[in-house]
Structure 1
Amino acid sequence: MPQWILGDRFETTYPHKGSIKALWETKWKFCASKSIYPFHDGAFEDFEPIFEKLIAENINDAFSDAYTNAFLPIASSLESQAAEALNYGHPDKAAELYRRASVVLRISRFPYVSPNSRPENSIKRVAFDRQKDVYLKAASLWNPIIKEEIIPHKHAAGKDGAQIPIYIRLPDEASHGPVPVVLIMTGLDGYRPDNSQRTHEIINRGWATVIVEIPGTADSPADPADPESPDRLWSSVLDYMAQRPEFDMTRVAVWGLSAGGFYAIRAACTHRDRLVGSMAHGPGSHHFLNPDWLRKVNDHEYPFTITDSWAEKYGYDSTEEFIQNAQKKFSLVETGVVDQPNCRLLLLNGVDDGVVPIEDCLVLFNHGGPKEGRFFEGMVHMGYPNSLPVSYKWLEEVLSPNKTEVKN
């Protein structure tokens, strides 16, 4: 068994585990009060009564219908208030209320929505579909707006679906000529409607953004059980982007978030000739699929259990089958993907990550081309908040090296 850098915490059950009350009081109440992950863009007053209800009714299973149902009345109230504000000529207020409703729906459908789910048999799918609807209502009132495009998956093969839903946001500069692009690869629980602040920062730098969900999550058409399906997915997305005159295809960078970081690493190798850089933020690569890690990760910092969601995300019918077999099939080290050359690749994470071990970044320095890394002592998964200024600074160097620095 590896001697994990996480040390004694590897064997520790984190204090928020075991109940919604513990999660709220030791972890999420603070996050909600500060509007930080996973409550970014949200309002504390929307969530406090919901969690008081969950605690009072002893609803502890986030995968249950009862959990999701507890959020829906407040989401509906916010939607109604937004529609009324819009009707009375207050678009800014309407946008704020729609955005808040979207965040309530985000937490209601946590921690995972499967592409195989359908509204008739999954309340989390219902909540996610509502989230997308109200989010786009909010985003349609912003300047510039976010638009959804449904594009052809022209490289689809095997069990891949035929269409790829993406979000696009273009800066004003795109009306005068092609601009750099950040291709955001989303995570296990964060999907297209969950990246507002990133798109604000990107747009403010004069770049466009394209947001795509990773295989095995949300609306992704990529076959989750096929290790090569992401390569086909990104080829189709990049081919579509190349047809758009607003995008400067000589300056495309990837930003992979959490589980999306795995795909950012892979794309840095498989699509190295089409990218100027790739940023893997909180990524797994190899060790996170080690059976020893997987048997303890549910006790660590993730709000709920994670292995069942990971198993379905990677196309397994059983969690035990995933634990026993996924590393050999999907590891970027085992499969030799990272022994290829790569484009510029930045690895970012907290050293004390209990979701994916920091070893998954470190091992990559022994494979393929040179890598860049920034790891934050004492920080957990993603290295927030310290990692964000580093993220934008690196993107500025890659995409706009001669432009005056933009403040974060």
Structure 2
Amino acid sequence: MRNFDPRILVRNAASGVILVLLASIGVFAQSSGPRTLEELKAETQKRVDRNVAPAGGLKSEDAREALANIHSLDRDEWAAAWSAIADRSASRAATEESTDKTKAQQDYLLAWRYYSFARWPTPNSPGKAKAYQNALAAFKNYARFLDPPLETVRIPFEGKEIVGYLRLPNGVRPAPLVLTISALDSRKEESAQGDAPLLRNGIGFFAVDMPGTGEAPIKVDVGAERMFSRILDYVQTRPEVDSKRIAVRSISWSGYWAAKLAYLERARLRGVVIQGGPVDGYFTPEWQKPGLNTDEYLFDLFPARAAIYGVKTLDEFLAYGPRLSLKTEGYLGKPSAPMLIANGVKDTQVPIADLYTLLQSGGSAKEAWVNPDGGHTGRSEEWPNARIFEEIILPWIKARLAPDTQVSRAQRE
């Protein structure tokens, strides 16, 4: 555990809990409400310039052009402005394929990023729905050039199918695997593109959309975690995958599913990462009513959250959530796979109290990384998500997935 900063490490063992900081900080702090058009444009440009979510990887000059063509809060106008930039990149990439495949791949990647931002946070208008389909196509073109290759997997599931991306490192067979679950407004393509560091460390991944998003076959509801159990069934049939060395990585909303899997699939998982995931208090009306106005989220938070449930009105949304609580469902305190729980004290999207609820719930040993200056998922200027992944999450995953000859099961648990 030498990679963890002791100032922000919290440990929970079966014998008790040690909380090393921040007992006096309020855990349900909120911030101001929705942005005006001009405020939205200014904040978007700021996030692009700083390369932070949800605008990471976009170019400042392209953002200025797109934002200049947005004159209202109309969703299709947003989609059209960013799609125009994406169209240009996709067209350029198609031309470059015959002369410079490296540039073509880079431009397909850029096109995917702009199409994805055009449909963000959820494809709830015709223009955004079209942008999402274009994003899938651009990512498919980008992925054609990847080495090691990316395989699109389609798993039969309840008359539909689970669509995921499987990518394994070269020269490692059977390879350990991380099941990576995308979040409320991200998609499996972000996971597949961002998890390349796993490959460099001899670890493969299976990236999938969480229920209610992307190409997932079902909405969020009690029992929807069965979708991920089906994926585990599938990957265990693949001889290229080491079925005894599987972990789960999640971020934001998908942490809910990771936590559930830690309990339900403990026998099949070496470890589970829960970064900024909801557990209990998040699902209450007392959190949701003010929380929907957080300015930590760029815009359209309620439509994004309502879409994963398949509801339309605020009343329906508030009534739907409480039954999803892990406490209400009776999971807390039961034996589980090892967990790494991470978040920031200043998170206004998921209460930091949920981290402590999970950590202190008893059952099996857990570890937590808490950034006292961090917002959602623990990110801050000092600790962007990329750094959290490289310095905190990746070392933990590597330790959990180490061969039995290197790390004993007793040490892992």
TM over 0.5: yes
- Tell me what 1:37 maps to: 53
- Tell me what 1:326 maps to: 321
Measure, in 2, the Cα distance between the counterparts of 1:151 and 1:196. 17
- Tell me what 1:187 maps to: 183
Q: Is the 8 A contact 2:164 2:206 kept in 1?
A: yes
SS of 1:172's partner is coil
- Tell me what 1:202 maps to: 198
State the one-letter code of the partner of 1:39: A
**Alignment CA distance shift 1:143-1:43 (3 Å):** farther
- Tell me what 2:402 maps to: 400
Measure, in 1, the Cα distance between the counterparts of 2:339 and 2:86. 39
For each residue in 1:258-295, what CA deviation from the matched residue of structure 2 results, as whole angstroms up to 9, or x when unmatched?
Answer: 11111000110111111000001111111111111111
Q: Find 1:216's aligned residue among 212, 218, 235.
A: 212
- Tell me what 1:358 maps to: 352
Q: Find 1:21's aligned residue among 28, 35, 38.
A: 38
Matched, 1:138 2:142: yes
For each residue in 1:25-76, what CA deviation from the matched residue of structure 2 results, as whole angstroms up to 9, or x when unmatched?
Answer: 2x4323312433223333333222101222xx2x224xx2122112222111
Q: Is the 8 A contact 2:359 2:368 kept in 1?
A: no
Measure, in 2, the Cα distance between the counterparts of 1:214 and 1:164. 10
- Tell me what 1:118 maps to: none
| Greater relative contact order (Cα < 8 A, sep 6+) | 2
State the one-letter code of the partner of 2:233: D
Measure, in 1, the Cα distance between the counterparts of 2:312 and 2:331. 25
- Tell me what 1:378 maps to: 373
- Residue identity (%): 26
Matched, 1:99 2:100: no
- Tell me what 1:369 maps to: 364
For each residue in 1:176-198, what CA deviation from the matched residue of structure 2 results, as whole angstroms up to 9, or x when unmatched?
Answer: x2011011011011001113553
- Tell me what 1:387 maps to: 388
**Alignment CA distance shift 1:20-1:103 (3 Å):** farther
Measure, in 1, the Cα distance between the counterparts of 2:62 and 2:167. 28
Measure, in 1, the Cα distance between the counterparts of 2:77 and 2:287. 31
Paired residues, what number? Answer: 373
Q: Is the 8 A contact 2:258 2:273 kept in 1?
A: yes
Measure, in 2, the Cα distance between the counterparts of 1:194 and 1:20. 27
Measure, in 2, the Cα distance between the counterparts of 1:315 and 1:144. 37
Structure 1 stretches lacking a partner, 5+ long = 115-120, 404-408
For each residue in 1:140-168, what CA deviation from the matched residue of structure 2 results, as whole angstroms up to 9, or x when unmatched?
Answer: 11222322121112xx3xxxx52100011
Measure, in 2, the Cα distance between the counterparts of 1:20 and 1:383. 28
Measure, in 1, the Cα distance between the counterparts of 2:122 and 2:92. 28
Deviation at residue 321 of structure 1 after TM alignment: 1.9
Q: How does 1:71-82 map to 2 (within 5 A)?
A: 71-82=82-93
Deviation at residue 400 of structure 1 after TM alignment: 2.6
- Tell me what 1:117 maps to: none
Deviation at residue 233 of structure 1 after TM alignment: 0.5
State the one-letter code of the partner of 1:387: I
- Tell me what 1:406 maps to: none
Q: Is the 8 A contact 1:348 1:387 kept in 2?
A: no
Moved over 6 A (4+): none
- Tell me what 2:8 maps to: none
Q: How does 1:278-289 map to 2 (within 5 A)?
A: 278-289=272-283
Q: Is the 8 A contact 1:113 1:189 kept in 2?
A: no
State the one-letter code of the partner of 1:80: S
Measure, in 2, the Cα distance between the counterparts of 1:4 and 1:219. 39
Measure, in 1, the Cα distance between the counterparts of 2:264 and 2:25. 29
SS of 2:55's partner is coil
Normalising by structure 2, we get a TM-score of 0.85
